[in-house]
């Protein structure tokens, strides 16, 4: 394993810094080129390219990702507190919004399940081995 990968793998703060650097680079690119795509999505794409191109390994980013996921609730506290400023969300308007959120979540989950099932069936029909059977 190269020295850089070992250094990254041992330092969760460095891993978080890499994620933030990709996000900031995506934001800068989106603003500089006036793209209609959010910078966070471009940053996610950059991270994906680094991982797919094996310039960065998922294992070396594990500690930072686990820390971010463990403390994800803290990222949503400001949004939850902002809802308290709008009491109409606790009435019929809130129920309508809740219905839209639940319906869209179910739609995404069903669509994802159908796509995964379709790809699995296609791969099985074409004799392509899955990653789990290797």
Domain map of the chain by residue range? 1-82, 86-134
Look at the alpha carbons of 54, 55, 60, 63 in this order and tell me if their dihedral is positive or negative: negative
Q: What is the mean pLDDT of residues 2-29?
A: 86
According to the model, what pLDDT value does residue 46 have? 93
Residue 86: band (very low, low, confident or very high) from pLDDT cuts 50, 70, 90: confident
According to the model, what pLDDT value does residue 131 have? 57
According to the model, what pLDDT value does residue 54 have? 84
113, pLDDT greater than 70: yes
Which has more pLDDT, 35 or 76? 35
Q: What are the phi and psi torsion angles at 96 (to 5°)?
A: -65, -45
Which has more pLDDT, 129 or 27? 27
Residue 125: band (very low, low, confident or very high) from pLDDT cuts 50, 70, 90: confident
Q: What is the mean pLDDT of residues 48-77?
A: 83
Yes or no: say if 67 and 60 are a contact pair by the CB < 8 Å rule: no
128, pLDDT greater than 80: no
1, pLDDT greater than 60: no
Q: Which of 131, 130, 132, 8 is nearest to 59 (CA)?
A: 8
According to the model, what pLDDT value does residue 9 have? 77
79, pLDDT greater than 80: no
């Amino acid at each position: 394993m190269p020295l850089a990968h070992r250094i990254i793998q041992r330092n969760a703060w460095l891993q978080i810094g890499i994620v933030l650097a990709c996000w900031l680079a995506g934001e800068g690119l989106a603003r500089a080129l006036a793209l209609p795509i959010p910078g966070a999505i471009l940053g996610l794409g950059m991270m994906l390219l680094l991982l797919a191109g094996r310039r960065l390994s998922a294992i070396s980013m594990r500690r930072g990702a686990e820390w971010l996921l463990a403390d994800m609730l803290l990222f949503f506290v400001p949004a939850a507190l902002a809802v308290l400023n709008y009491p109409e969300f606790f009435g019929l308007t809130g129920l309508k919004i809740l219905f839209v959120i639940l319906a869209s979540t179910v739609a995404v989950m069903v669509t994802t399940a159908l796509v995964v099932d379709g790809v699995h069936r296609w791969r099985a029909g074409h004799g392509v081995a899955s990653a789990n059977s290797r």
